[in-house]
Homo-oligomer: A and B are copies of this chain.
Amino acid sequence: MIEELAISTKGKNAFIDVTSEVEKAVTGLRVKSGVCIIFVPHTTAALTINENADSSVRSDIINALKNVVPDSGGYLHAEGNSPAHVKASLFGNSLTIPVENGSLRLGTWQGIYLCEFDGPRTRKIIIKVLNG
């Protein structure tokens, strides 16, 4: 009861809607009631749930994060992607969502987003569903 997806990201910072991919995986795993866990095995990407209607919300979040963790700021790590590492830890690399009647129990305005902070790249998402 595990599924792995590959997602291509565009741009340095981007939020990619993966709601339908996760829904499809959950349906395929055929768990009627339980919990869905989504996990990214990366350290400069994250996962979040946020507004699925107006895309300007995602732009506002990306811009707000740039103010919280500036692109340049005397970082020690030589690869230059320290801000991406900080953002990844602030947002977190997993989500936990209840499953009811075989589908995700998301709110009306909730979408699931893969947060790319050091793209463009191909990222993995691991989806696991537990019965219960």
Chain A interface main SS type: mixed
Nearest CB of B to A116, in Å? 14
Known: A68-B69, A85-B50, A98-B2. A107 touches B60 (CB 8 A): no
Does any Cβ of B come within 8 Å of A89's Cβ?
yes
Contact count band on A: 35 or more
Q: Which residues of B contact A61 (CB under 8 A)?
A: 82, 85-86, 89
Q: Is A16 an interface residue (CB 8 A)?
A: no
Taking a contact as CB atoms under 8 Å apart, the answer to whether B2 and A33 are in contact is yes
Q: Which of A86-111 contact B (CB under 8 A)?
A: 86, 88-98, 100, 105-110
Interface check A117, CB cutoff 8 A: no
